[in-house]
Amino acid sequence: MSKTILITGATDGIGLETAKLLRSEGHSLLLHGRNDGKLAAARDSIAAIGGPGRIRTYRADLSSIGAVQRFAREIKENEPALDVLINNAGVLAMEDPVTSDGLDARFAVNTIAPYILARELTELLGASGRIVNVSSAAQAPVSLEALKGGQRLSDNDAYAQSKLAITMVSRHLADELGNAGPAVIAVNPGSLLGSKMVKQAYGMQGKDLSIGADILGRAATSPEFNDASGRYFDNDSGQFRNPHSDASDPVKNAALVQTIEEILQDKT
Ligand SMILES: NC(=O)c1ccc[n+]([C@@H]2O[C@H](COP(=O)([O-])OP(=O)(O)OC[C@H]3O[C@@H](n4cnc5c(N)ncnc54)[C@H](OP(=O)(O)O)[C@@H]3O)[C@@H](O)[C@H]2O)c1
């Protein structure tokens, strides 16, 4: 059945590849990007695939809390239905990682923006919906001080902490929503896939992006993920695995979510 699927970071890499795959399967797509030119190019290349589904575009800089909140409002105002949210947009290496809100952009884009979108769009998604949060094999214990912007981290540390953080958020939301809300699934799409993120950070070509697109597409629509809420799919091993042990600790997960809520109170 054709679904309406919002993909963040659909202008490049795994997100763009996933959008193409889902388009070829006949789904309607809401493509998100931060750059008008890249967004138009992505829309055109995806539309050229053909198919019955609608394509709409949304622009928002996910490093800005205010912009993410406006983006969520636009979706709620414009879209009568949403079946799947794929929180794919992400950043790793950056020259200046401090955002306009004074946060590390890795936490802002990889953790806080997905959290805001998940919360704001939960009602629209409804109990039959899915939220796919793109995680990573890189996961490190989260410094709540760094999350609040009070501690500077290396690129790799900030990235790994932000990815464990979104995995912890996923588990927390899944536990909280239960059967009353959308399924919340964390997915490592596969390591060292050949996107610009990997080329820039590691100077290598990387593996085929279709490895990541295939698993995000399955997590978004396949019945094999019907009972996956709260779980972590590791595409390096091709199976559900336990993420970093911190994500199995409800007290740590709740403390992390509470800290994000405090940041949102403070910055808005
Ligand atoms: N590649 C891998 O091996 C790998 C492994 C594990 C996890 N992941 C995760 O997979 C996801 C996709 O990454 P990728 O490898 O495909 O990297 P990518 O090619 O760099 O794509 C990242 C996407 O996020 C968007 N984005 C970045 N910062 C943004 C911001 N401030 N506001 C709005 N959009 C923003 C980018 O927009 P622009 O097009 O404008 O730059 C792009 O569309 C990320 O969450 C990443 O952490 C990747």
Ligand 1 proximity of 198 Cβ (cutoff 6 Å): yes
Q: What is the mean pLDDT of each run of 10 residues along the chain (268 residues)?
A: 96 98 97 98 97 94 98 98 98 96 98 98 98 98 98 97 98 97 98 95 94 98 97 98 98 98 93
pLDDT for the residue numbered 79? 98
Q: What is the SS3 assignment for 267?
A: helix
pLDDT for the residue numbered 20? 98
Ligand 1 proximity of 15 Cβ (cutoff 6 Å): yes
Nearest atom, ligand 1, residue 14 CA: 16
CA of 48 to the centre of ligand 1 (A): 23
Beta strands in the chain (DSSP E): 4-7, 28-33, 55-59, 84-87, 130-134, 183-188, 232-234, 239-241
- A 10 A CB-CB count for 122 gives 20
Q: Which pair of tokens denotes residue 234?
A: 């590791």
β-pair type (232-234, 183-188):
parallel
pLDDT for the residue numbered 175? 98
Q: Which pair of tokens denotes residue 138?
A: 């890189």
Residue 152 exposed, middle or buried by CB count within 10 Å (0-12, 13-18, 19+): exposed
Q: Give the integer Cα–Cα distance in Å for 220 and 257.
A: 24
Q: Which pair of tokens denotes residue 198?
A: 């990997």
pLDDT for the residue numbered 267? 87
Q: Give the integer Cα–Cα distance in Å for 78 and 190.
A: 33
Q: What is the SS3 assignment for 98?
A: strand
Ligand 1 proximity of 114 Cβ (cutoff 6 Å): no
